[in-house]
A and B are shown apart, each in its own frame.
Chain A
Amino acid sequence: MKKITQWIDRRFPMTAFVKKELSEYPTPRNLSAWWNFGSLSGVVLVIQIITGIFLAMHYKPDAMQAFASVEHIMRDVNYGWLIRFMHSTGASAFFALIFIHMARTLYYGSYRAPRELMWWSGQVLLLMLMATAFMGYLLPWGQMSYWGAQVITSLFGAAPFIGEEIVIWLRGDFTVGDATLNRFFALHYLFPFLIVGLVMIHLVALHMVRSSNPSGINLADKDNIPFHPYFTVKDLFGLSVFLLIYAFFVFYSPNLFIEPDNYIPANPLQTPAHIVPEWYFLPFYAILRAVPDLVGGVIAMGVSVMIFAAMPYLDRSKIPGGARYRPIYRVLFYLFVVNVLVLGYVGAKPPEGWLVPLGQVATVIYFSIFVFLPYISKKEEIWLRAKGLPSVVEELICAEEEEKGKRSQRKNRGKE
């Protein structure tokens, strides 16, 4: 064994890599359970890829056969039902984990310098995940699959001048059809591997800047403990608990995440009475519907997803630790979370009665939080510093300002 390791190490830095990036990788000691969700998402990505590959061995991306082939998987293939339910439940689990992972980042301000690239790669990962989930949802070729794809591809019709052409190009047909199904299948198979690649970049960036932590102060440089065994065992325990919840849904409530209408084969001539997207798209769907204009709605929805990327610039407070030392930011965070849940609720219902104005108010609140954040965060900082911060935090801010000052001086000197 040792000989083999040595043989490899002379050619590839295996031991050194494992030591530096896995076992001895310095990690803040105070990471809470909220720091488990990144690794959990990674595991779910692997589960989705494995179950997906095995499903693809039996699935037929053909408009005439797709629905029946899913039933074939559910009824004839050995354990096909298990693999399929793992995959369909896994999609929901993936979004749940990613949303919590994002919420943690927002709450603790982990998006701030120097972790902007992590946040942005995460933003791109979110978009790719959404695209993958959306394309995968077409594959069972049920009524909800079909009309969901029809509606979402139609959104691209909002593009100026060439909207119509883009929609037809996306579908490869004048409506969603066999060509659409086939290409969605091809891309649904491809995207997860692109996601894996981007996750690698996400991780390389993580190992450059190290984990953030609940205190918001960069402890990783000063006071850290090795990743192994402390965090390997913590992540494994977290994984086991996650699998427990996941198994509960897979075995006892697998149809919770599948709309009844999706057990009716796609019928291009009849739309179901009420189409809803999957739960993870509901808040964004509610924003789309809240704007009475098609183009405006599409833009609002796009911005509502992409606006997270601006967070490192919108949050102008220098106080570290995210919501921990910042009562106003904390209030905003909870307001945001509740507001997203309200939007989700509105998105799940038909747009009738008081739900319409509610959705509009929630949409306005959604964007207002982002728009006023620069002002509020600055004011909050001034107020908090006047009130007096814990000395450690104050020192840290001063040190950072000094550092910044020096950097700009050096820059200026360089210019002269």
Chain B
Amino acid sequence: MTDDVKNPDDPERRDFLNTVTGVVAGVGVCAAAWPFISSMNPSRDVLSQSSTEVNLKDLKPGEGKTVAWQGKPVFILHRTDQQIENMSSSQGVKDPEADAERVLKPDWLVVIGICTHLGCVPNRVKDGWFCPCHGSAYDNSGRILHGPAPRNLDLPPYEFLTDSTLLIGRSST
């Protein structure tokens, strides 16, 4: 109602101010959404379990075990010299890959124990694993031999902390 201000209705000025406010408000709403989105990501205690330490001391050559890493089964196999030799001389069938590229140390095979077909956990059989769901067979390097699975068994990130301790996943702290 006061007319003492010059051009209170100057459309250019109004548009500019409204745009700025709109952008500021929009940015605020997006920023406010972030904590909520972020809260659905794995929480801190879950993240701390993103790595698993495994003691390898009592695994004799030829023995293996399955450990949980991020809730997934990981097959660890202490391979014998014979097994290493067999594996390094073959390239696999469906998804050719050299054995040397699938292990850090030839003695130890570490693979994620989830069938690359539809996610069952294969069973240990003589000279490899066999998936009970649809009959995929894997060798002692975790490579697919036959069956419907498209890929070799996936490899988790891992490192040897000492000769007898294995860390699967990233470093914990």
A and B in contact, CB less than 8 Å: yes
Kindly state whether residue B173 has any CB partner on chain A within 8 Å. no
Contact B45 A76 (CB under 8 A): yes
Q: Cβ of B46: which chain A residues have Cβ within 8 Å of it? A: 76
Bound complex: CA A54 to CA B40 (Å) = 8
A77 within 8 A of partner (CB): yes
Category for how many chain B residues contact A: 10 to 19
Residues of B within 8 Å of A54, CB to CB, are 36, 39-40
Q: Is B43 among interface residues, defined by CB-CB distance under 8 A?
A: yes
- Is B39 a contact partner of A76 (Cβ separation < 8 A)? no
Stretch among A79-87, A107-115, A183-191, A373-381 lining the B interface: A79-87
Find out whether the CB atom of A80 lies under 8 angstroms from the CB atom of B45.
Answer: no
A79 to B44, CA, bound (A): 11
Q: Give the A interface residue count (CB, 8 A).
A: 13
Q: SS class of chain B's interface: helix, strand, loop or mixed?
A: helix
A57, B35: Cβ atoms closer than 8 Å: no
Q: Is the CB of A77 within 8 A of B39?
A: yes
- A83 to B43, Cβ gap below 8 A? no
Expressed in whole angstroms, the Cα–Cα distance for A131 and B40 within the complex equals 29
Residue numbers in A under 8 Å from B44 (CB-CB): 75-78
Q: Say whether B45 contacts A78, CB under 8 Å.
A: no
Nearest-CB residue, chain B, relative to A78: B38
* A-B contact sample (17 more), CB < 8 A, given A78-B35, A78-B41, A79-B38: A50-B36, A54-B39, A54-B40, A57-B40, A58-B39, A75-B44, A76-B43, A76-B45, A76-B46, A77-B43, A77-B44, A78-B38, A79-B35, A79-B36, A82-B35, A83-B35, A83-B36
23 interchain pairs, CB-CB under 8 A: A50-B36, A54-B36, A54-B39, A54-B40, A76-B43, A76-B44, A76-B45, A76-B46, A77-B43, A77-B44, A78-B35, A78-B38, A78-B39, A78-B44, A79-B35, A79-B36, A79-B38, A79-B39, A80-B39, A80-B43, A82-B35, A83-B35, A83-B39
Q: What are the nearest 3 A-B pairs in CB distance?
A: A79-B35, A76-B44, A76-B43
